[in-house]
Copies of this chain bind each other. A is one copy, B any other.
Amino acid sequence: MVKIKDIADAAGVSTATVSRVLANKPHVRTEVKERVMQVVQKMNYRRNRVAQNLRSNTSKIIALIVSDIENPFFQRVSRAVDDTAFEHGYSVMLCNTGEDSTKEEASLNLLRDENVAGVILSPTQQALDNFRNDIDFHMPVVIIDRHVDNLDIDNVIIDNVQAARILTSHLIEHGYQRIGGIFGRGSTTGRERHEGFMQALKDHNIKPATDLIKFTDPKEEDGYSMTMKLLQNPNRPEGILTSNSLLAAGALLAIRESKLVIPDDIAMVSFDNPTWAKLVDPALTVLEQPTYEIGRTAAELLIKRIQDPTRSNRQVVLKTKLIIRQSC
C-alpha cells in the first residue's frame, strides 16, 4: 500500500507538503501542488483514514444504534440517515440492540473506542435511566424516537401523546366505544401513546376497560397473542389500536384467524405506515410518523454538533399525519 512518504519521495518534496496539498491547505505553490497531485494520481494513492483519525482525532463515521433493525420504522430512518450522511461525506455504522441494554452499552463503548464522530441513538429504558445519572458519552449524540427531558442532548421525536389522542379519537368518532390498545413496553414511546389513548377516552367520556389494555414487547408474535387474548375476552373490543406496525401485523393475523371481518366485526388502527398498510384489505387507517424526516433531521443535527460541539441543544418535534383508510 503506497503511503504519503512514497508520494513525497516521488514528487521530490516532504511529507508535510504532500499532506498540505491533500488537505488543501494554503502556502504551497500551485506548481508544486500540481506535481504532487499528478504523482498521487499516478501512484493511485489513498490516504489512510486510520492514521489520519489517530493523529488528528477526527473521523468521518457516524453510528446509528436502533432497537430493532427489522422494524420498518427504523429501516426508513436508516435510509434517511445514510442518505444525509453520504451527502455530508460521512459513512454510517449501523448497530442493532434488540432492546438489550447490555448490547447497547457494548455498542456505545465500541463506538467510542473506534472514535466515531457521533451517534444517533434510540435508547433502551435502561440507558435513559442512566442518562439521569449523568452518563457521559464522550462523543456527540442525538437521541431519536424516545423522549429525553432536562438533559443536554439533541433530541428528535414526535408528540406521541397528541398523536395517540388523534388516532384514538378517530376510532371513537366512528362510533366504537369498547376500545382495546396494545402498546410496546419498555420505552417512553409506548407509555406516551398509552397516555394519549387514555386522554382520548376521557375526552369522550368513555370509561377505559383495563382488561382491554395490554403492554407487551413490540413484536409481531406478541401483537398476535395479545390480540388473541383480547378477542377471547367475553366482552371483546369493538376496535383495536396498536402502537406500532409489528404489533399491527400480529393483530391483523389474529383477527383474520378468528374469522372476524374488519371493520364490521372489529375496527383497527395503528401507529406507523408500513408498505403493506395500503395493501391489506381493508387498507389500514394509520398514524404516520415522518420517518424519513426523523432520520434526516437527526443526522443533520448530529453533523452540526460534530462541527460545533458548543452549539446549544435542541429538541425537534416533528409533525405526524393521520392517514384515513378503510379499517375503521
Contact = CB atoms under 8 A, between A and B. Distances in A.
Contacts of A49: 110, 113-115
A59 B226 CA distance: 44
A23 interface: no
Interface in A30-80: 46-51, 53-54, 59-61, 69-70, 75-76, 78-79
A94 interface: yes
A75 B79 contact: no
Is the interface on chain A under 10, 10 to 19, 20 to 34, or 35 or more residues? Answer: 35 or more
A111 to B, nearest CB: 8
Contact of A95 (B46, B91, B110, B138): B91
A69 B61 contact: no
Contacts of A274: 275-276
A281 B262 CA distance: 12
Contacts of A276: 249, 274-276, 279-280
Contacts of A86: 103
A107 B91 contact: yes
A45 to B, nearest CB: 11
Contact of A280 (B96, B115, B138, B280): B280
Contacts of A138: 1
Interface in A219-262: 220, 249, 252-253, 256
Contacts of A206: none
Interface of A: 1, 46-51, 53-54, 59-61, 69-70, 75-76, 78-79, 82-83, 86, 91-96, 103, 107, 109-110, 112-115, 138, 220, 249, 252-253, 256, 274-276, 278-281
Given A50-B54, A92-B94, 4 more contacts: A48-B54, A92-B95, A253-B279, A279-B280
